[in-house]
Amino acid sequence: MQTLLRVLRWALKAAVFFTLFAFALNNQQDASVHFFFGQQWRMPMALIVLVSFAIGLAVGVLGMLSTLWRRQTPKAAQARRPEDETLLTGRPPLVDLPEDSPHGL
């Protein structure tokens, strides 16, 4: 079973590689990216797509860093404790109502 999974994983990686390679071969023509103030960037279309993907990946990772940092800090871990609910919401924790509440809440 392990061998089959390893072969399937290798085949998937090979398929992705050959698909991207074929994409790069089909997009060798120069393309222009126009910036402000008359600046332009001329490169093969495949390279422009690759650079755009890399920039998007970097922006996504940077956007997730603050969330990951908050999870890792001990102060944030202490603030998430149920007994410290006042720290999170600014109000005391909710109290259980009796089952025979006249308002049906």
The Cα–Cα gap between 17 and 15 comes to 5
The Cα–Cα gap between 11 and 15 comes to 6
For 62, the token pair is: 């940077």
| The predicted structure's pLDDT at residue 59 | 95
Instruction: Please name every residue paired with 44 in a beta bridge, in sequence order, or none if there are none.
Output: 30
The Cα–Cα gap between 5 and 22 comes to 26
| The predicted structure's pLDDT at residue 7 | 93
Residue ranges, the chain, pLDDT below 70:
73-99, 101-105
| The predicted structure's pLDDT at residue 14 | 95
